[in-house]
Amino acid sequence: MEAYRYHRKVYYYETDRMGVVHHSNYIRYLEEARIALMDARGVSYRSMEAQGILIPVVSVSCQYARPAAFGDELEVETAITRLTPSRFWVRYLIRDLTTGQVSVTAESCHCFTGTDFRPISLKKAAPELYRWFADQCVTDE
């Protein structure tokens, strides 16, 4: 499966006094891209929650290379890279669509839980959903 590409424009309110995107907003961009990937490929967060399955963030790691600024058009390349019955990992690359310069590389890890936030094995609880995640994993690594 190939990486998913999500596009968004940087808004003025996302910038700081230095005129660049505040570092915390990149985390929001990652979430937007992850949700867009799932929606575009047929499984939404909402549908998972309706099944009683949550996917909270366990960790996020960001490496900031170049700041983005108001008006920049960004592409967030998003790919599920690893899956276990209880967790999955997502890789991100945020770049400027005009220049191609990379702003951020990142990775997030998520676990599968029930509505009580207790970890579950997705492979056992929802085998069809587990297969969907397995099918989404990027294999070109």
- What would the pLDDT profile of 45-60 be if each residue is shown by its tens digit? 999 999 999 999 999 9
Check pLDDT > 80 for residue 32. yes
In a domain, 141, yes or no: no
Containing structural domain, residue 132: 4-136
Count: domains in the chain: 1
**Model confidence over 74-119: pLDDT tens digits?**
999 999 999 999 999 999 999 999 999 999 999 999 999 999 999 9
Mean pLDDT across the chain: 96
Instruction: State yes or no: is 16 an active-site residue.
Output: yes
pLDDT score of 139: 73
Residue 141 confidence (pLDDT) above 50? no
Between the CA of residue 96 and those of 37, 39, 49, 69, what are the distances in Å?
19, 23, 33, 10
The answer to whether residue 76 sits within a structural domain is yes
- Other CB atoms within 10 Å distance of the CB of residue 80: 24
CATH, residue 32: 3.10.129.10
